[in-house]
Amino acid sequence: RDLAPRDPSGTSDPFARVSCCGRTLETAVIKKTRFPRWDEVLELELPEGELGEAVLSVEVWDWDIVGKNDFLGQVAFPLATLCPGPTRGWFQLLPFPSATEDHGGQLGALRLAVRLVEDTVLPPHHYQPLIQLLTEPILCPGQPPEGTALAVLEETTSGESRQDVATKLVKIFLGQGLAVPLLDYLTTRELARTTDPNTLFRSNSLASKSMEQFMKVVGLPYLHEVLKPVVNRIFEEKKYVELDPGKVELSRGRRISFKGSLSEAQVRESSLELLKGYLGDIVDAIVGSVDKCPLPM
């Protein structure tokens, strides 16, 4: 709450970044506010051997479409101070430890619910009966699907827990090399239950959630490898691009030209050429990434 304004409108576009033991997750960006409310749950899986004196860091940033994001403040929690129950409260946002400037409490405050959960992971053979039960309709497709564990799980999973169930199912079936058959099975059942031909998928169904998680687990590293260099270059170049005549800023055009003032038509023409070049680089990167595409995709 009460975050520092970083935009000309007197607001910010804040998002939170949670880091611990080299692992990082980010929330969504909330536009034009100094009092954001994310209502998100971020889970970091931390192997027991890496904890030690580890610190959970929560940073708040102002997102900028051009240039670097602006740092708004951070809160740090040593894991040794956390308990299994949730830790709730308002925490004063602080500058980076290396900063010498005293902000006098003007960075705002952040309200969090933090909880440390310790999970016991048994050797793989302990989970084999459960895995056999879940994969049975995939490996033995001839039996009626209604009585299988996977069908019962699909029918009884609540909307709130569907995301977590989909994440766990995708990871289990990826480990068995059966992720694609799982998606086929869930999608076939989803289509069979659909009565309206104009509705193919429900966004909150287990089939849709499983496909989403599959693309995140399998496709996201591939996407980063292929497109991240091009996207980083586009941001680093900081070129002014605008095709909408109502939004062209000629003052921005003057800053990118060594020949003086640019007309509106020249700005649009320059923007069009830049966009064509960027899109061409993106298409070339995608087309040339066939060998990098994960086999399950």
Q: Per-residue pLDDT tens for 145-158?
A: 677 888 888 888 88
Locus of tokens 């904890």: 51
Token pair for 108: 């705002």
Rg, Å, the chain Cα set: 25
| Bridge partner list, 101 | none
- Are the beta carbons of 73 and 49 closer than 8 angstroms? no
pLDDT at 4: 85
- Residue type, position 144, single letter: P
Q: Per-residue pLDDT tens for 151-187?
A: 888 888 887 888 889 999 999 999 999 999 999 998 8
Tell which phi-psi region holds residue 166, choosing left (phi > 0), alpha (psi between -120 and 50) or beta.
alpha
Q: Is the pTM of this model over 0.75?
A: no
**Domains recognised in the chain with CATH numbers:** 14-114 (2.60.40.150), 124-214 (no CATH), 239-292 (no CATH)
Cβ neighbours around 183 below 10 Å, total = 18
DSSP collapsed to 3 states, 268-284: HHHHHHHHHHHHHHHHH
- What is 9-66 written as a DSSP string? TS-B-EEEEEEETTEEEE-----SBSS------------GGG-TT-EEEEEEEE--SS
Distances (CA, A) of 186 to 170, 177, 199, 201, 212: 11, 16, 16, 11, 13
Instruction: Give the Cα separation of 270 and 288 in Å (integer).
Output: 27
Percent of the chain at pLDDT > 90 equals 31
The pairing of strands 109-114 and 14-20 is: unpaired
Instruction: Give the Cα separation of 293 and 88 in Å (integer).
Output: 43
Distances (CA, A) of 188 to 51, 132, 220, 247, 273: 43, 21, 25, 47, 45
Pick the more confident residue, 74 or 21.
74
Q: Per-residue pLDDT tens for 204-243?
A: 788 889 999 999 999 999 999 999 999 999 888 888 888 8
Q: Per-residue pLDDT tens for 54-74?
A: 888 999 999 987 778 889 999
Q: Per-residue pLDDT tens for 103-139?
A: 455 667 778 888 877 778 888 899 999 999 999 888 8
| Bridge partner list, 14 | 62
- Residue type, position 104, single letter: G
Token pair for 274: 């830049």
**What number is the average pLDDT over the span 189-217?**
81
